[in-house]
């Protein structure tokens, strides 16, 4: 059952979030439901407040405010700039003194544009936000080789930081977060840059790279899964050794008969860090509405043997019907699940054997 959020409530929540300076992602969600925007004058004032709050790091740290106020600043200025660009076209077609005056008051200062670009030195700034700051400053990565190389250099420098999912102290899988408490999705910055540039070659090469990473990630966790299994098995073995079993059976030997099957089950597991990361990458493509990138990524996942993630990618890319008709409808969901588990079991088993 799909619940529909009432438009009237969305408007009320939007205004409340704006007044209380809530997370911009929540504001954008309410705007998408309400179907209406505020005036550009409002957004310019909002951008000014967001920017000042972004610069007030000490105060934000004192009150533990993790909000991405640079992103809020950029999104507010984006709305202002969109209005300005449309108004300039109207003024060329027909001059309007009142509109001209309004646009002049909305124009973003060169000093602020420069400040937004310099803020890109912060590793937590999203690449897509920095791209807009560059464009605002007159340095479009699509037109400036210098700007593109600078962005690529920045993204490469960020690869040294840890991203993705890890085991926390109690054994749960959790996402690593940046300073704004946003998940550190592997390849997020590369995906954002490819999305903006709309270069088919770059999009395909990135999809190939990320799919290869996915396979390597599944292989790399094989030893950890084996170690977890051996630890859990040793604990079970102690329990079964002390347990009272009828007919004078040896609990330890009885449990041993199931050891290989239990180990295989552990290595067939798809509820792991690697698959959480693959799912997170697919969701990130979808968040950006990068449909071409999703299709390409889905194709490479399929070629690598990761059928089920590929299936999800195809559906989110808008070609789910075609993918089902041409490929996935040939087997039942249970058979696809077994095929996927068989594949990753062989992959992990080979990884363990290679390290011996």
Separation of alpha carbons 353 and 223, rounded Å? 10
- List Cβ neighbours of 27 (8 Å cut-off, separation of 6 or more): 14, 17, 18
Q: How confident is the model over 75-87, as pLDDT tens digits?
A: 999 999 999 999 9
Residue 149 CA, distance from chain mean position? 23
* Domain match, 29 and 124 both: yes
Would residue 254 count as lying in a domain?
no
Q: Is the dihedral of CA 190, 182, 119, 128 positive or negative?
A: positive
Beta carbons within 10 angstroms of residue 113's beta carbon: 18
* Domain match, 106 and 217 both: no
pLDDT tier at 1, thresholds 50, 70, 90: very low
Decide: helix, strand or coil at residue 63: coil
* Domain match, 28 and 150 both: yes
End-to-end CA distance of the chain: 51
Q: Which of 340, 281, 274 is nearest to 316 (CA)?
A: 281
Would residue 253 count as lying in a domain?
no
Buried b (16+ CB within 10 A) or exposed e, 147-171: bbebbeebbeeeeeeebbbeeeeee
Domain extent at residue 341: 207-221+272-355
* Domain match, 154 and 35 both: yes
pLDDT at 241: 67
Q: How confident is the model over 269-278, as pLDDT tens digits?
A: 999 999 999 9
Task: Indicate whether 247 pLDDT > 60.
Answer: no
Q: What's the count of helices (H) and strands (E) in the chain, helices before strands?
A: 19, 2
DSSP state of 5: P
Cβ atoms of 125 and 70 within 8 Å: the answer is: yes
Would residue 47 count as lying in a domain?
yes
* Domain match, 142 and 20 both: yes
Cβ atoms of 278 and 165 within 8 Å: the answer is: no
| Tokens, residue 345 | 């079991």
Would residue 27 count as lying in a domain?
yes
* Domain match, 214 and 333 both: yes
* Domain match, 103 and 30 both: yes
Q: Is the dihedral of CA 217, 219, 220, 225 positive or negative?
A: positive
* Residue range 17-42: mean pLDDT, rounded: 74
* Domain match, 154 and 214 both: no
Residue corresponding to tokens 């951008």: 47
Q: Which of 181, 184, 175 is nearest to 60 (CA)?
A: 181
Would residue 200 count as lying in a domain?
no
pLDDT at 255: 63
Bridge partners, residue 173, by sequence? 167
Kindly write down the DSSP assignment for every residue of 71-88, as one continuous string.
HHHHHHHHHHHHHHHHHH
Q: Which of 293, 128, 309 is nearest to 201 (CA)?
A: 293
* Domain match, 147 and 211 both: no
* Domain match, 18 and 150 both: yes
Q: How confident is the model over 320-348, as pLDDT tens digits?
A: 999 999 999 888 999 999 999 999 999 99
- List Cβ neighbours of 50 (8 Å cut-off, separation of 6 or more): 21, 24, 69, 70, 72, 73, 76
Q: Which of 139, 82, 130, 144 is nearest to 108 (CA)?
A: 82
pLDDT at 248: 58
Would residue 70 count as lying in a domain?
yes
* Domain match, 216 and 128 both: no
Would residue 260 count as lying in a domain?
no
Decide: helix, strand or coil at residue 167: strand
Q: How confident is the model over 115-157, as pLDDT tens digits?
A: 999 998 888 999 999 999 999 999 999 999 999 999 999 999 9
Please state the domain count of the chain: 2
* Domain match, 217 and 96 both: no
Would residue 340 count as lying in a domain?
yes
DSSP state of 183: B
Separation of alpha carbons 37 and 28, rounded Å? 10
């Amino acid at each position: 059952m799909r619940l529909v959020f009432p438009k009237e409530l969305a408007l009320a929540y939007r205004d409340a979030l704006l007044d209380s300076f809530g997370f911009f992602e929540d504001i954008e969600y309410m705007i998408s439901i309400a179907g209406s925007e505020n005036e550009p004058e409002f957004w310019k004032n909002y951008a000014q407040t967001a920017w000042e709050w972004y610069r007030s790091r000490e105060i934000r740290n004192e009150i533990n405010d993790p909000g991405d106020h640079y992103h809020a600043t950029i999104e507010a200025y984006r709305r202002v700039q969109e209005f300005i660009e449309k108004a300039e076209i109207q003024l060329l077609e027909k001059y309007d003194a009142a509109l001209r005056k309004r646009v002049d008051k909305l124009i973003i200062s060169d000093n602020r544009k420069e400040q937004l670009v310099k803020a890109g030195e912060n590793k937590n700034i999203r690449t897509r936000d920095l791209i807009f700051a560059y464009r605002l400053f007159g340095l479009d990565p699509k037109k400036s080789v210098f700007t593109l190389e600078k962005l690529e250099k920045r993204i490469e420098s960020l690869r040294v930081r840890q991203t993705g999912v890890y085991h926390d102290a109690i054994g749960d899988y959790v996402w690593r977060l940046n300073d704004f408490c946003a998940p550190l999705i592997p390849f997020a910055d590369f995906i954002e840059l490819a999305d903006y540039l709309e270069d088919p070659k770059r999009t395909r090469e990135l999809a190939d790279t990320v799919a290869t990473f996915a396979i390597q990630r599944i292989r790399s966790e094989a030893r950890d899964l084996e170690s977890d299994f051996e630890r859990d098995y040793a604990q079970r073995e102690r329990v079964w050794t002390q347990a009272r079993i009828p007919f004078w059976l040896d609990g330890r030997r009885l449990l041993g008969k199931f050891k290989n099957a239990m180990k295989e089950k552990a290595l067939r597991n798809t509820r792991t860090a690697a698959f959480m990361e693959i799912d997170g990458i697919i969701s990130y493509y979808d968040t950006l509405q990068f449909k071409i990138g999703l299709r390409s990524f889905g194709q490479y996942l399929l070629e690598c043997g990761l059928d089920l993630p590929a299936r999800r990618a195809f559906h989110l890319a808008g070609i789910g019907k075609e993918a089902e008709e041409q490929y996935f409808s040939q087997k039942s969901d249970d058979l696809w699940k077994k095929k996927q588990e068989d594949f990753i079991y062989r992959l992990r088993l080979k990884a363990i054997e290679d390290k011996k």
